[in-house]
Amino acid sequence: MKILAVDDDPDLLALVAFALAQAGFVVVKAIDVPSALRVFAAEAPDLAILDINLPGGTGFEICEAIRKQSRVPVMMLTARGEEEDLVRALDLGADDYLTKPFSPRTLLARVRALLRRAGLETGGAMSAGGLHLDLEAHTLRVGEAEPVKLTKLETRLLQILIANAGHVVGTERLLTHVWGHRGSGDRQLLKQLVHRLRQKVEVDPAEPALLKTESGAGYRLDVKA
Amino acid sequence: MKILAVDDDPDLLALVAFALAQAGFVVVKAIDVPSALRVFAAEAPDLAILDINLPGGTGFEICEAIRKQSRVPVMMLTARGEEEDLVRALDLGADDYLTKPFSPRTLLARVRALLRRAGLETGGAMSAGGLHLDLEAHTLRVGEAEPVKLTKLETRLLQILIANAGHVVGTERLLTHVWGHRGSGDRQLLKQLVHRLRQKVEVDPAEPALLKTESGAGYRLDVKA
DNA sequence: CTCGCTTGTTACCGGATTGTCACCCAAGGG
DNA sequence: CCCTTGGGTGACAATCCGGTAACAAGCGAG
């Protein structure tokens, strides 16, 4: 999920970007009107957060330009908190509005609400540590790296591992979750699946940093932070 | 357009109802949790405005109950303006939030924004990137080119793809949206539909620029504005 | 009824995914 | 030292899945 954040205050922009990145969003930034429009066209973000007061222009212009070509949710930020701004923003097609100062938690709650309203929240996405699994797109993103494409079985395996991040998941449970039933004696399948998954997601597949083996028990997803 | 307003303060409720009625909405009212649920079930409103503080309960309960059965937009009202309320409301699936006191104008602007967001106000047209889909005329215009005529199924497919432009939409979701039911095993229909649609809209159907395949997952509408 | 368009069905091709087998290595017990 | 066990690895086969074509079945308009 990609979010465009526009603000001319470097500190606030960094804070917003950090909060969003922590929550698993990809953030693209801009500091004025022209760069915001350029980035929007180039990156096609899923949501835009626009400061109203910008050097040489306002967030209203950006909002208006975005609305002409797209229906992505737009959230406006303002320090003023005046009703005029609010009404004007909503009339221009903005979807929400936040008054500075705001807490990162509030920002995230509102962003999530907007995405859900827009029907963009996949419903099927989970994350743990720096891992973000998209169950619908079958992709895994490790930290800020490019998403990796996964197969159906790999997705199912990661689903249960991420759901139990940091804890050992027994071989039997893995087998039944991924293949659902089976003589459940088929450990070879699991070996292969883990092997193939490691080739895709581990930096050094011979020395797994994420998908740890718990000898005699099962596997464990190691999450830092 | 029918709106449910819930508040235990008769004066405020009357004010809200009046403002909404002036703007052309049909308003149904309730003053506590049980009556709100009853009215909601009986009247099936298109939007709900809920006060948080109610005698013998809270608007949260109503919101939760509504969300279990419906996706209509919900707006919460509170006098407190505490962040806890905001976060909780949004987590429960509320779509917006207004702090008392508020002006009728603000209320209306927000209500309209919500309805627009919910797609209840769309004139039967949607666009993303350079694509413009007319749901009534069953036509698609790509950039500045001549509109292409679409069949019913093709329109439905594009509808969900455009609504999720740039994102993978899983096979299952596509099947249920277009055909709505099916043992969901009928991937062949989807294959054919996509194939036929590509013949119509892609410059080079063998090398799709718009309707991308996400192997093992689903399809994605690629928007390069 | 017939024409023409839309939708559903069957079949085949090629590449990706998954299942199977054979073998390696390391640890542990007799 | 030999054997067994559990896991990792590579190669290959079976199967699945998407793209394509051809054709049949539905269906509305005239």
- Write out the residues of chain B at the interface with chain A, using a CB-CB cutoff of 8 A: 73, 83, 86-87, 90-91, 93-96, 103, 105-106, 109-110, 112-113, 116-118, 126-129, 163-164, 166-170, 173, 214-218, 220, 223-225
Q: Which nucleotide is nearest to B151 (CA to C1')?
A: C6
Please give the mean pLDDT across all residues of chain A. 85
Choose among B92, B80, B72, B99: nearest CA to A109.
B92
Which residues, by CB, come closer than 7 Å to strand C?
A 149, 151-154, 179, 186, 188-189, 192-193, 196; B 149, 151-154, 179, 186, 188-189, 191-193, 196, 215-216
The mean per-residue pLDDT over the stretch A169-195 comes to 85
Least Cα separation, residue B215 to chain A (angstroms):
8
Backbone angles phi, psi at B87, to 5 degrees: -60, -45
Please give the mean pLDDT across all residues of chain B. 83
pLDDT along chain B (225 residues), means of 10: 89 88 84 88 84 86 80 80 69 79 82 72 68 86 84 91 88 85 74 95 89 94 77
CA A212 / C1′ C20 distance in Å: 25
pLDDT (tens digit per residue) in A71-116: 788 999 887 656 677 778 877 878 888 887 788 888 888 888 888 7
CA B215 / C1′ C14 distance in Å: 14
pLDDT (tens digit per residue) in A112-129: 888 876 665 556 777 887
Q: Which nucleotide is nearest to A199 (CA to C1')?
A: D9
Whether the model pTM is above 0.75: no
